[in-house]
Structure 1
């Protein structure tokens, strides 16, 4: 399972793979269930605070596109004053291509602290297990290929933890779970060879979500320039989804399993 780990990197002390099997991502007024595995993998310096070193030969974050409930009708609210051709095109796409997918794409390096996953701090220190800075790629023929919620300059920053959150209102605190440690191999005191954590739940409901942009940049044969088309369609997406959405109005819950192994053990298994 650790074949994509950068275990030959001298800075990498352990290999890690985390698979989210279920959960939910609520952004503004839109709630998307997580019903396909999301895999995060790579190398870490230790189970304490560490950057996640990118996987080699495979994706560091593999997040399959998720269907947005309601499709195009659920994510765009066309205004009556839209130009006639754009209005006609919208309903034509709804009739033929209503499905909209959302894909998480990392835009910054990931930061981890798996020690916090096992032992959520109670002293007021940062409880973050994984810090994800992402943008959400919305895809549909009507929306085009450049429709994103967030950007590299202004990402959605999710700080997942297994403890209890302290979000601003109207959200209320929610709790994750460290899960169950089912396997530990050790050769000497304080040295972890292999660690399996099942049914861990990572949560965050304190993050903000910026507005969508770049939507509708497709050739519809309309007598309208791209910036105006972008403003109309992106504005409709933001109105319907409720973006930008302030901290306290969004939620991420990710439940799954994690495996951590000493890079020395992984390297030995390859020889």
Structure 2
């Protein structure tokens, strides 16, 4: 193949990969609806699935809406460290049935384990792309000398225990996958999958990782409890400036990279994958969370609607 033709093909693949990354982010970041959005203590809860069958089930003792903003932090896989350069948002509905599951801590206190409900837009996790340098290369061409990485959910959040914030216990379990976009890797290169995800189990307490990682302590930040401003029944629990850690998670190898997975081994070699537990870590810092809970779904709906602007 002549050099000009080869360069043209290379350039086209590069632009396609990078454009796809930012197109995906643009779709994720676009407003779900032009309708009036909740404000005040319910800001960001416009996609809470209050009309779902699970939240309307009369057997639920508690229903609620959650929205959290993660301001910073980063992850380490082996010797590769990446900082989060823009905020991420997590949102979903919660339920707890009468006599539902709880967890008991060493001090004999207990906390409810909430079930979760996917938001109406189906996007529990929204994040912007990360420009991750390829080890050994000077990063001057995003998408070529680096990989554009999108952190995507690989399943629903489970085991949500917001009242375990002061304990050495995960606040939730979140399966994710990392979508790597690069001119040489194509558009279907992933680390983790829906069937074999990277599972985050971050805690505001102290972690208990396998060696060589050492325990690290998080922070609950500030905790507030407020009533609905319009006289409805929800209680709004706020967590501000929390730091969550998980340094006990394994990270699987890459798949789908290059033509017929031909570049999987290159990604694994460059980033040291798969990487066993004890060699990886994630930190979520500046986490601000609002949790609005109510014994009545209809009351929760009315409370949220009263603040729409």
TM range (shorter): 0.7 to 0.9
Equivalent position to 1:9, from 32, 49, 52: 52
Is 1:258 the counterpart of 2:289? The answer is yes
1:72 touches 1:94 (CA, 8 Å); kept in 2? no
2:234 touches 2:303 (CA, 8 Å); kept in 1? no
Equivalent position to 2:187, from 140, 145, 159: 145
**Partner in structure 1 of residue 132 of structure 2:** 68
4+ residue segments displaced more than 6 Å:
93-96
* Equivalent-residue separation in structure 2 for 1:72 and 1:142 (angstroms): 16
What is the TM-score of this pair, normalised by structure 1? Answer: 0.78
**Partner in structure 2 of residue 31 of structure 1:** 81
* Equivalent-residue separation in structure 1 for 2:225 and 2:219 (angstroms): 17
2:134 touches 2:270 (CA, 8 Å); kept in 1? no
Is 1:248 the counterpart of 2:291? The answer is no
Equivalent position to 1:128, from 166, 170, 177: 170
CA deviations over 1:39-69 (Å, ceiling 9, x no partner): 1101111582123211113622102111113
**Partner in structure 2 of residue 88 of structure 1:** none
What is the TM-score of this pair, normalised by structure 2? Answer: 0.69
Any unmatched runs of 5+ in structure 1? 76-92, 122-126, 218-225
* Equivalent-residue separation in structure 1 for 2:69 and 2:303 (angstroms): 24
When the two chains are superposed, the root-mean-square deviation of aligned CA atoms in Å is 2.6
CA deviations over 1:161-193 (Å, ceiling 9, x no partner): 111011001100011111101342279xxx861
**Partner in structure 2 of residue 166 of structure 1:** 208
SS in 1 for 2:241: strand
Any unmatched runs of 5+ in structure 2? 1-43, 56-62, 97-110
**Partner in structure 2 of residue 109 of structure 1:** 156
Aligned length: 233
Out of 199-208 and 148-157, give the one that drifted further: 148-157
* Equivalent-residue separation in structure 1 for 2:78 and 2:242 (angstroms): 25
Equivalent position to 2:118, from 54, 79, 84: 54
The structure-2 alpha-carbon separation of the partners of 1:4 and 1:147, relative to structure 1 and needing over 3 Å to count, comes to same
* Equivalent-residue separation in structure 2 for 1:28 and 1:257 (angstroms): 28
1:197 touches 1:257 (CA, 8 Å); kept in 2? yes
